[in-house]
Structure 1
Amino acid sequence: MLQYTIRRLLSVIPVMFIVSIIVFLIVHLTPGNPAFLILGEDSSQESIEQLEKQLGLDKPMAVQFFDWIKNILTGDLGQSVYSSEPVSQIIAGHFGPTFSLMLISLLLVLLIAIPTAIFVVWKRNTALDPLFISVSLIGVSIPEFWFAMLLVLGFGVAIPIFPVAGYIPIMEGVFNWLYHLFLPAFVLASVEVGLVARMLRDGMLESVNQDYTRTARAKGIKENSVLMKHVFSNALIPTTTVIGTTVAGLLGGTVIIETMFTIPGIGQLLIDSIHRRDYPVIQGVVLFIAGIYVLVNLLVDLLYAFLDPRIRYD
């Protein structure tokens, strides 16, 4: 297990290097001059060139890239061209709201998807099964921004139950923290819950009539125990993979949802930085998101060995 973990961690290096190249090229080849945006339309060409030299934007792209990589290897993501703050400090200051939103969304996904899938398998071969498939397809197909606007109009304007903007840290009260994040978290969860529930239901249906389940029933074990101890546990492997991709989907979805609900997280930071052409922050945020995605995939792979004793990493 340790050797496999070390190999996987080493394999992260070329992946992150390729991601850094793609991010750097996309950011720097996009039209827009940060120096011009900072100084404004009335600035002279001399002042723009002076600020570009000060920010290092006058250097060739290859030199800028390798300077950026060299700083990353020392733990330095650079400084914001807009506020001159360290990028790592800016990301750390915005990660709390994003992590809170992802945590609540993931809990909602698990609390809704797992019981629903188990109940549908228990009531298999009834009218509930095609109804579940239809609802899950609708949930996966609904655009997040459209569903968010419906919830804002319904539960924020017409029936003002939940706040539609702002963020309250958990230190100021768990209830207020949950109250302000429930609506955006529900939007994120609604897109992913259908996928997780559908995968768990399909995995359980594949196991429900296997030889070991028939043997368990022949021994007099009740159907509920068969579903939970034998069928559900064997369906966890593919479901865990989907949950891992769900975490990445939730992180990507925060870019839209945080902007719509005015949550000062990583997603809103990325959108604001794109508008300001804040190259170091954009590069740092995308690299940070890619790192989390790779780390989640690694944790999911390691979790397989705990879920299924037959899996060994030698």
Structure 2
Amino acid sequence: MLHYTIRRLLAIIPVLFIVSIIVFLIVHLTPGNPAFIILGEDSSPEAIEQLEQQLGLDKPMVIQYFDWLANIVVGDLGQSIYSEESVSQIIAERLGPTFSLMLVSMLLTLIIAIPTAIFIVWKRNTILDPIFLSGSLLGTSIPEFWLALLLVLGLGVTIPIFPVAGYLPITEDILGWIYHLLLPGIVLAAVEIGLIARMLRDSMLESVNQDYTKTARGKGLKESTVIMKHVFSNALIPTTTVIGVTIAGLLGGTIIIETIFTIPGIGQLLIDSIHRRDYPVIQGVVLFIAFVYVIINLIVDLLYAFLDPRIRYD
């Protein structure tokens, strides 16, 4: 297990290296001059040129990239062009709202998706099964931004039950923290509930009529016991993969949702940095998201050995 973990951690390096090249090229090849945006439309060409020299934007792109890469190796993501703060510090300050939103949405997803899938497998030969399939397909097809705007209009404006903007840290007020994150959490969870519940249901149906489940029923076990003890446990491996991908994908979903609900997280930071042409912050945020993706994939792979004793990484 230790050797496998070390190999996977080393494999992260070339992945992040490729991601860094792609991100750097995309950011620097898009039109717009950060120096011009910072100084404003009334700035003189001399002032713009001087600021470009200060920021290192007058150097060839290859030199800019390797300077940036050398700083990343020692843990320095650079300095914001707009605020002149450390990019690492800016990202760290925005982690709380983003991870809070991901936590709330993931809890909502698992609390609803797992019991629903188990119940549908238990009632698999009834009309509830096709109703569930239609509902899960509808849930995964709804655009997040459309559902967010719909809920804001319905539950935030027409019937003002939830706040439509802002964020309250958990350290200040736990109930207020939940209250502000519940509506955006529902939006993020809506799509993932159908995906995870459908995956768990399909995986459980593959095991529900296997020989070992028939043997368990032949021994006199109740159907609910067979489903929970034998069927559900064997369906965890593929479902865990989907859950891992879902958690990583929530980082991408928060970009839209944080913008709509004005939550000061990583997604809002990325959007603001794009508008400001703040190269270091954009590069740092995207690289951070890529790092979270690969770490979550590693954790999911390691969980397989705990979920299924037959799996060994030798």
Could you tell me the TM-score, scaled by structure 2's length? 1.00
Per-residue deviation, 1:249 = 1.5
Q: Paired residue for 1:81?
A: 81
The letter of the residue matching 1:252 is G
TM-superposed CA distance for 1:173, in Å, is: 1.2
1:50 partnered with 2:54: no
SS at match of 1:299: helix
Structure 2 matches for 1:191-202, cutoff 5 A? 191-202=191-202
Following TM superposition, by how much is the alpha carbon of 1:234 offset from its aligned partner in structure 2, in angstroms?
0.2
* 1:294 aligned residue: 294
Give the partner amino acid of 1:282.
Answer: I
* SS in structure 1 of the partner of residue 171 of structure 2: helix
RMSD over equivalenced CA pairs, Å:
0.4
| Equivalent AA in structure 2 for residue 164 of structure 1 | V
Count of aligned residue pairs for this structure pair: 314
* 1: CA distance, partners of 2:68 / 2:200: 43
Per-residue deviation, residues 150-191 of structure 1 (Å, max 9, x unmatched):
101110011100000000000111100000000001000001
- Provide the rounded CA distance (Å) in 1 between the counterparts of 2:173 and 2:276: 34
Match of 2:156 in 1: 156
User: How far is the alpha carbon of 1:248 from its aligned partner?
Assistant: 1.5
Q: Does residue 271 of structure 2 align to residue 262 of structure 1?
A: no
Q: Which residue of 2 aligns with 1:14?
A: 14
Q: How does 1:1-314 map to 2 (within 5 A)?
A: 1-314=1-314
Provide the TM-score with structure 1 as the length reference: 1.00
Deviation at 1:291, TM superposition (A): 0.2
Q: What percent identity do the matched residue pairs reach?
A: 79
The offset of 1:104, in angstroms, is 0.4
User: Matched residues in 1 for 2:119 and 2:8: separation?
Assistant: 37
Amino acid at match of 1:211: D
Matched residue type, 1:94: R
The aligned amino acid for 1:299 is I
* Unpaired runs of at least 5, structure 2: none
**1:171 counterpart SS class:** coil
Deviations 1:87-110 (A, max 9, x none): 000000011000000000000010
Q: Report the residue type matching 2:237 in the other structure.
A: I
